[in-house]
Amino acid sequence: MTQPLLSVTELGISTVQDPRTLVNRVSFEIMAGEAVGVVGESGSGKTLTALSILGLLPRGVAVANGSINFEGNDLTNTSLENMQKIRGSEISMVYQDPMTALNPVMKLGRQLLEVIEAHEKLDASSVARVEVALRDVGIPQVERAMESYPHEFSGGMRQRVMIAMALLLSPKLLVADEPTTALDVTIQQQILALVSEERRKRGMSMLWITHDLGVVANLVDRLIVMYAGNIVEAGTVEEIFNNPQHPYTHGLLSSLPSRSDKSRKRLTSIPGVPQKPWLVGNTCAFAPRCFKASEICTSASPKLVGTLEKSVSCFHPMGGN
């Protein structure tokens, strides 16, 4: 059996002082060339999970247990020097807000050249490589773009620059943290199409973080649904959309607008608010908001069971008792 490119096992993330669990026993795999989406509300732990892969957790937050294995390297125990070699060249990241991710006082060309310079010596071909990367993501007049500052570009163009930067050294895994959230719908669709095409051409793996199931429907192969720091359901896109098992996943899908709805009826919402991961304890975190909750849901924690194609963490899955 082919080994996964990335294997996250029993990952736990918590605050360092006054320890509070933020991500709890998260496990998943990404195969070479595969695209996996992670979906969930704000505070579900999806961004922290992504940042832990690159060793970029914010100050005061750390991996508490588990492992992150990338091509035989346990990234939770590797040296800073080795991690710096992997970032950008083997694993790259596209951030949510390109205006804060890009240096506002440095020309774009120089910022892209720094990506190359961090891993190899610049030479006569370096500028040409940057220009090709910008053309590949649809940036017009690349010579002018190289001499421009971030504020001279629109939000969509800045995000294209960020994608060019992330793909510059042909990484094996691209981590995208809600890169279309701040964009309007038309530009969002252009960016999604661009990322999808670049992944196809390069045979690259991808981890796409989002709060919107509709965004990833045609972008990824498998989906992971997170809630309060835990994985509550995982499976292929077809299984998740056509046969959701967890009441939370069902609620997320029910809240999506339907193209066939001509009457524009009121969207379904999930009652209540998400629970803090460190307050869950030995219960189901979704129980206070769940229409199927029973006594066992407030006295025990369900385990994630199933296969790679479909797994769920619920005492009362949809279609069951």
User: Nearest-CA neighbor of 206 among 76, 98, 94, 58?
Assistant: 94
**Is 154 contained in some domain?**
no
**Is 163 contained in some domain?**
no
CB distance 287 to 297 below 8 Å: yes
Residue 214 has a pLDDT of: 82
**Is 164 contained in some domain?**
no
CA distances from 213 to 77, 191, 204, 309 (A): 33, 16, 21, 18
Residue 119 token pair: 């891993």
SS3 317: coil
**Is 1 contained in some domain?**
no
H/E stretch holding 232 reads strand 230-236
Looking up residue 233, the CATH number of its domain turns out to be 3.40.50.300
**Is 275 contained in some domain?**
yes
Provide the residue range defining the domain that includes 210.
6-100+171-312
**Is 296 contained in some domain?**
yes
Residue 320 has a pLDDT of: 61
Tens place of pLDDT per residue across the chain (321 aa): 589 999 999 999 999 998 999 999 999 999 999 999 999 998 999 999 999 999 999 999 999 999 999 998 999 999 999 999 999 999 999 988 877 889 999 999 999 999 999 999 999 899 999 999 999 999 999 999 999 999 999 988 999 999 999 999 999 999 999 888 777 888 888 888 889 999 999 999 999 999 888 888 889 999 999 999 999 999 999 999 999 999 999 999 988 877 666 666 677 889 899 999 999 989 999 999 999 999 999 999 999 998 877 999 999 999 765
pTM, two decimals, is: 0.92
DSSP code string of 161-191: HHHHHHHTT--SEEEEESTTTTS-HHHHHHH
**Is 107 contained in some domain?**
no
Name the residue type at position 295: E
SS3 130: helix
Domains of the chain: total: 1
Residue 75 has a pLDDT of: 95
**Is 230 contained in some domain?**
yes
What's the angle, vertex CA 211, arms to CA 283 and CA 289, rounded to 5?
A: 30
Please tell me what DSSP assigns to residue 87.
B
